[in-house]
């Protein structure tokens, strides 16, 4: 920890974050607790902890509590693939069918219900870049929007509790149509799980082993993984949902959770658990231009490519999204290779910086990286779904209001 003033932040204004979270959310019974970490210029200026990790047992939340980070897994999986891109093992414009031959004849939905779908040929093949930026035509079953979504739910794959392994999901997807031709729209989907499969195919090792040996382990993310080992189970927190009267309803008991054992399905889209301190290491590596503690993971040019807007025609999410899922208000927000990217703070109507990139998880966790301000913010809590409260926007306001330089 450093004195906030030495990195251009106000201690008094940073203190507002914890006070706000406690009064607005924790004391009001809307969140069990929260850990907020603010780092600037490579130094942690604020680490706030409020509330409980397990309401039923009265267990206090701690700095090193372990959280389900769900879709905050996606940036790590995307970085893993880009490491292989840098090695020349795979390219962004490669057709996905080159690595998944069974997908060669994927059609686009026209009509019908599973298994009697009517399809048409896509206007072009799906490319690797489509998976990274969610323009693949794939979907998520939880969208509850189309007959294709319904087919995903019936097939029962893609969730962190799925009994079908990664290879099985890829085989099942070969039987289902795309929502749209690749590149025509943005739809939040299992695309990043497929990215994990590509990492596995191209590297020649299980996806989870590649992630551990090439990224998680070297970064020193010692509390990050696809399950919580027995010697760390006491630090694993409960996950909640909003009940019918707005109360906290236990969604996943940390003493009985499936996360206590290695999964059948290693989800590159949402399978990891982590801590605030661990996730900061990953974010700081990105902010550093691809290096951390003397080790280079990516070139700064690759990170610049990943954090550019890759939506066709320079569009933002409001223009391209067909998804009912939203991590945040999407006006002025584009999408890169694993991250949302701020294109225009005025359109976003929130204190922020052009070029800032971010994402979050289903249980309301979030992070953002602001290269221009040398800022990283990591927020950990456990409430599903992430759209329940506007806490991510509120947190941005609180953090940026603490600037004092």
Tell me how crowded residue 84 is: count the other CB atoms within 10 A of its CB.
Answer: 18
Question: How do residues 35-49 score in pLDDT, each as one tens digit?
Answer: 999 999 999 999 999
In percent, the amount of the chain with pLDDT more than 90 equals: 87
Q: Is the pLDDT of residue 205 over 90?
A: yes
Cβ distance 145 to 321 under 8 Å?
A: no
Q: Is the pLDDT of residue 355 over 90?
A: yes
- Give phi and psi for 394, each to the nearest 5: -60, -40
pLDDT of residue 329: 59
Domains of the chain: 4-72+206-400 (3.40.710.10), 81-203 (3.40.710.10)
Task: Tell me the three state secondary structure of residue 229.
Answer: coil
pLDDT of residue 159: 73
Q: What is the mean pLDDT of residues 284-289?
A: 98
Q: What is the mean pLDDT of residues 256-267?
A: 96
The torsion region of residue 87 among left (phi > 0), alpha (psi -120 to 50) and beta comes to: alpha
- What is the DSSP pairing of strand 366-370 with strand 67-68? unpaired
Q: Is the pLDDT of residue 388 over 60?
A: yes
The DSSP-derived string for 163-196 is: SS-HHHHHHHHTTS-BSS-TTS-B---THHHHHH
- What is the DSSP pairing of strand 366-370 with strand 248-252? unpaired
- Give phi and psi for 334, each to the nearest 5: -105, -170
Q: CA–CA separation, 402 vs 180, rounded Å? A: 44
pLDDT of residue 189: 94
Q: Is the pLDDT of residue 328 over 70?
A: no
Q: Is the pLDDT of residue 99 over 60?
A: yes
Q: What is the mean pLDDT of residues 374-395?
A: 96
Beta strand residue intervals within 302-393, DSSP E: 333-335, 340-342, 357-360, 366-370, 375-380, 383-384
pLDDT of residue 390: 93
DSSP state of 61: P
Any residues with CB less than 8 A from the CB of 381 and at least 6 apart, and which?
A: 31, 32, 33, 34, 35, 67, 363, 364, 365, 391
Tell me how crowded residue 88 is: count the other CB atoms within 10 A of its CB.
Answer: 7
Question: How do residues 127-179 score in pLDDT, each as one tens digit?
Answer: 999 999 999 999 987 777 888 888 888 888 777 778 889 999 999 999 999 99
Least confident residue range of 165-174, 247-256, 316-325, 338-347:
316-325
Q: Which residues of 341-368 are buried (b: 16+ CB within 10 A; e: fewer)?
A: bbbebeebebebeebbbbbbbbbbbbbb
Question: How do residues 65-87 score in pLDDT, each as one tens digit?
Answer: 999 999 999 999 999 999 999 99
Q: Is the pLDDT of residue 325 over 70?
A: no
pLDDT of residue 324: 60
pLDDT of residue 5: 97
Any residues with CB less than 8 A from the CB of 27 and at least 6 apart, and which?
A: none
Q: What is the mean pLDDT of residues 370-394?
A: 96
Confidence bin at 111 (pLDDT 50/70/90): very high
Task: Tell me the three state secondary structure of residue 209.
Answer: helix
Least confident residue range of 98-102, 115-119, 176-180, 295-299:
115-119
pLDDT of residue 27: 97
Q: Is the pLDDT of residue 327 over 70?
A: no
């Amino acid at each position: 920890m450093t004195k906030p003033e030495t990195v251009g932040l106000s201690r008094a204004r940073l203190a507002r974050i914890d006070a706000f979270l406690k009064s607005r959310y924790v004391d009001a019974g809307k969140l069990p607790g929260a850990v907020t970490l603010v780092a600037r210029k490579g130094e942690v200026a604020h680490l706030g902890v409020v509330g409980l990790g397990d309401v039923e047992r009265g267990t206090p939340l701690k700095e090193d509590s372990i959280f389900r980070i769900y879709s905050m897994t996606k940036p790590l999986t995307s970085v893993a693939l880009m490491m292989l891109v840098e090695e020349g093992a795979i390219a962004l414009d490669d057709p996905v069918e080159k690595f998944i031959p069974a997908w060669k004849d994927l059609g686009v939905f026209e009509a019908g219900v599973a298994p009697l779908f009517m399809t048409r040929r896509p206007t072009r093949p799906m490319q690797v870049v489509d998976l990274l930026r969610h323009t693949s035509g794939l979907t998520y079953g939880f969208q509850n929007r189309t007959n294709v979504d319904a087919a995903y739910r019936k097939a029962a794959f893609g969730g962190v509790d799925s009994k079908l392994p990664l290879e099985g999901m890829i085989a099942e997807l070969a039987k289902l149509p795309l929502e749209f031709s690749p590149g025509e729209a943005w739809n939040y989907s299992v695309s990043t799980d497929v990215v994990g499969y590509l990492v596995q195919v191209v590297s020649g090792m299980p996806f989870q082993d590649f992630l551990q040996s090439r990224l998680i382990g070297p970064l020193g993310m010692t509390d990050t993984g696809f399950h919580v080992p027995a010697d760390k189970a006491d630090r694993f927190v409960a996950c909640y949902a909003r009940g019918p009267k707005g109360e906290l309803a236990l969604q996943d008991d940390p003493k009985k959770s499936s996360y206590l054992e290695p999964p059948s399905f290693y989800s590159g889209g949402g399978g990891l658990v982590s801590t605030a301190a661990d996730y900061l290491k990953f974010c700081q590596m990105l902010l550093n231009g691809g290096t951390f503690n003397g080790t280079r993971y990516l070139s700064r040019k690759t990170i610049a490519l990943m954090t550019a807007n890759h939506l066709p025609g320079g569009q933002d999410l409001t223009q391209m999204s067909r998804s009912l899922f939203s991590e945040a208000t999407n006006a002025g927000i584009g999408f890169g290779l694993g991250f949302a990217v701020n294109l225009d703070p005025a359109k976003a109507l929130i204190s922020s910086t052009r070029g800032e990139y971010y994402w979050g998880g289903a249980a309301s966790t979030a992070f953002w990286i602001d290269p221009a301000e040398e800022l990283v913010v990591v927020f950990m809590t456990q409430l599903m779904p992430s759209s329940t409260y506007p806490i991510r926007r509120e947190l941005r306001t609180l953090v940026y209001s603490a600037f004092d330089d």
